[in-house]
Amino acid sequence: MVCCAKVLMPKASCNDANVTLVQVHGCFHPCMALARMPSRLFCRLLTLLMLCLPLGGVKALPLSPGDRVKVTIPDGEEFSGIFEVNLNGELELPFIRGIQVAGLEPYQLQDRIFHTLVRDGYYQPSYLKVSVNVVQWAPAEVFVSGATFQPGRVLINEWTPSEQTTVPVAQGGQGAFNRFLSIALRSAGGVLPTANVAAVELIRGQERRVLDLSGVFTGEPFKDVPLISGDRVVVPDTGQENPLIVRPSQITPVGVKIYISNLTVPATSNATSAIGRDATSFPYGSRFSHAVVSGNCAGGTVLTNAYRRAVLVRVDATTGKTTTLDKGVEELLRRSSSNENNPYLMPTDAVACYDSAVVNLRDVIGIFSELITPGVLLYDRFIP
């Protein structure tokens, strides 16, 4: 895709006779004084320059192995049809060697086919026209590492079972909205609270790009670049939690699933404590105190329940190390002031609630009562 420039004759509104106005896609540039250069020569140079420059800000999706394209050449049935980019990133047309197309945009592939057919002597440049349309975008395997919940290889833009068996329609215009950087990060579980989203690195072959994704959380425009198979994404880790990114978004989890255990008081089982699916699923950004309340660990009689304790158990997915945080329920609800004593809930966290000392003492007395009562009854029965 190129920028077409239209050079207009000098207008009377410009005072200098050697002034030319240039219209690019209907927009007039300001008058330019060309006192030392003839306007006709300048117009020719400017037109050639405009024809060689691509449209700024307009980027098509790059081609990737598995993509299917329709090639149309008038009076060239041998080279026309629907072709699939092979695993090496090449497009194989009849009678010619594979054309390396991975990472190219469709208009670049169109130019490459044109030059290949002319170079190999199949057409004269003045008689050849080539049209390329993408009819089906393939899934892409991307490698995500760094500060994500589930780093590793992810498959984005995955086909549904019907798409795998359906013959592609020989028309263009299809969009691959699930083959972008944000989708890859979400597929890797989302970024950690310590991720540096302002310096996400994209590696494609020998090229490296650093991308700022802060706009996901601020609402400012950002570059959500399209990906191809083999791309690598590295998310730096700052080592410090950033509260601004601990919420549902395009690159963070929508919610977290945790495990809650609340037995004896105020209930003898999780079922009677109303701990079901809704009580163990939380929006991303919820805290330890939310799980305590959702698990019915708080509330009730102040004398017996206010001094209950809750334990948060967390296993580091990278090291396998288990850490615990033991807090009094009343202290957690009333005096939490930082991420250290009321941390964010993470996937697969576990929360257990324990009864207060008053309830424990009552239960101990109840046990002795249960042991003594049968003895008293036996004594009364057999000893006169």
Do residues 59 and 50 touch, judged by C-beta distance below 8 A? no
Alpha-carbon distance of 42 to 16, in angstroms, equals 15
**CB contact at 8 A, 258 and 235:** no
Which DSSP string corresponds to 153-217? EEEESPPPHHHHHSPPPS------TTSBHHHHHHHTT-B-TTB-TTSEEEEETTEEEEE--THHH
Calculate the CA dihedral of residues 215, 221, 222, 228 and round it to 10 degrees.
Answer: 130
pLDDT at 36: 47
Torsion of CA 148, 153, 158, 160, to 10 degrees: -100
The first and second tokens of residue 280, run together, are: 């163990």
Neighbours of 193 (CB within 10 A): 21
Contact 352, 300 (CB under 8 A): no
pLDDT recorded at residue 24: 37
The CA distance from 331 to 277, in Å, is: 27
The pair of structure tokens assigned to 113 is 């086919």
* Contact assessment for residue 66 and residue 229, using Cβ atoms and an 8 Å cutoff: yes
Q: How far apart are CA 318 and CA 320, in angstroms?
A: 6
Q: What is the pLDDT of residue 382?
A: 67
Alpha helices of the chain — where are they, by DSSP H? 39-52, 106-119, 161-165, 181-187, 215-218, 277-280, 288-294, 302-305, 329-334, 357-382
Q: Which helix (H) or strand (E) holds 16?
A: none
The CATH topology of domain 140-160+178-245 is Outer membrane lipoprotein wza fold like (3.10.560)
Concatenating the DSSP letter of every residue in 210-249 gives EE--THHHH-------B--TT-EEEE-B-SS--GGG-S-B
CA-based nearest residue to 243, from 194, 198, 283:
194
Which pLDDT score, from 0 to 100, does residue 167 have? 63
CATH code of the region 68-136? 3.30.1950.10
Spans of all domains in the chain: 5-52, 68-136, 140-160+178-245, 255-360
- The predicted pLDDT at position 170 comes to 57
Mean pLDDT by 10 residues, the chain (384 residues): 37 38 38 46 48 44 91 91 92 91 92 93 91 90 95 90 65 74 95 95 94 94 92 95 93 90 58 58 91 80 70 87 89 82 91 68 57 63 65
Separation of alpha carbons 253 and 237, rounded Å: 17
Give how far the C-alpha of residue 300 lies from the chain's centroid of Cα atoms, to the nearest Å.
43
Measured in degrees and rounded to the nearest 5, phi and psi for residue 93 equal -100, 155
Please provide the distance, in angstroms rounded to a whole number, between the alpha carbons at the two ends of the chain.
Answer: 110
